[in-house]
Amino acid sequence: MPKTAITTGSNGHTEVQDSSGVAVLDRAFAILAAFGPSDHCLTLTELSRRTDLYKSTVLRLLGALEHGGFIRKLNDGQYGIGHQPLRLATLYQRSFQIGPVVEPLLQQLSRDIGETASFYVRQGDHRLVLYRVEPSRSVRVSIRIGEEFAIDKGASGKVLLAFTEPQDPRWGDVRTQLWAVSHGERDPETASASVPVFHATGELVGALTLSGPRGRFQDALTTHAAVALLLESAKRATIGLGGNGSRYDASLAALQRVKEAKEASVMRTK
């Protein structure tokens, strides 16, 4: 039977020490998860506070994680993430087998629209940035590969929910039109448009997305132009993955009709 013990740390919290392998792994994963997107390094004290673990426990696990390449100790005594997570992240990306198809499309989208182009996949209740390309312009939406956001906010979240929870009536319009937009949902200063990409089996692979400052997405014609480019790119990606590209044709035709109607309205007011 695994041994347990109760100890009280220097920060006043009580920790149940469980010597089982699963418990040790859970604590090691907690240390890795303590690093947020903006954390380049953390002190032993901060890691202890964030994980609610006794310092001696954290120090012992840090040694094992450092030996395995998951943690590195810096010259000032603080700790940062090691090289192994990067290697695993690369393997994770390759496991989707879509990089060669999606990445060139993201680069083209970012060049054509001048905004951040990204590809999201669903991970539980979050959406994860699997690939992204940012434009050269100084004012842009900046996100990191591997960054996670809540799935219930943002255009890409709507797309991921629509095609992974097909019985949810809230996303019926997204499933019908094959696109979603958001204005200031995750960040009040940003807006985004997103469309689904499908595999050869017809299942969702992920969400192709354009994001930018909210002011540049206010005009309906601009938004529709971005959605049309996204749909064309998603069609190419789906075909490249062996899927049915014709499922995008109705959505593209509908957008074209909207565009022509708006242009005709503008001409009549001149």
List, for residues 170-191, the tens digit of each pLDDT value: 999 999 999 999 998 988 899 9
Region class of 213: left (phi > 0), else alpha (psi between -120 and 50), else beta: beta
Where does CATH 3.30.450.40 sit in the chain? 89-269
Domain 4-82 bears CATH identifier 1.10.10.10: yes
CATH superfamily of 89-269: GAF domain (3.30.450.40)
Report d(CA 218, CA 220) in Å as an integer: 6
pLDDT reported for residue 19: 54
pLDDT reported for residue 143: 87
pLDDT reported for residue 28: 95
Report d(CA 267, CA 221) in Å as an integer: 14
Of the CA atoms within 13 Å of residue 238, those in its CB half-sphere come to 25
Tell me the backbone φ, ψ of residue 206, rounded to 5 degrees: 180, -170
Asked whether residue 128 carries a pLDDT value surpassing 90, the answer given is yes
Report d(CA 227, CA 213) in Å as an integer: 16
Q: Which of 89-98, 190-199, 214-223, 236-245 has the weakest average pLDDT?
A: 89-98
Mean pLDDT score across all residues of the chain: 87
pLDDT reported for residue 88: 85
Q: What is the mean pLDDT of residues 100-107?
A: 94
Judge whether 130 and 93 are in contact, CB under 8 Å.
yes
Where does CATH 1.10.10.10 sit in the chain? 4-82
Report d(CA 41, CA 62) in Å as an integer: 13
Asked whether residue 197 carries a pLDDT value surpassing 60, the answer given is yes
Asked whether residue 5 carries a pLDDT value surpassing 50, the answer given is no
Radius of gyration of the chain (CA): 23
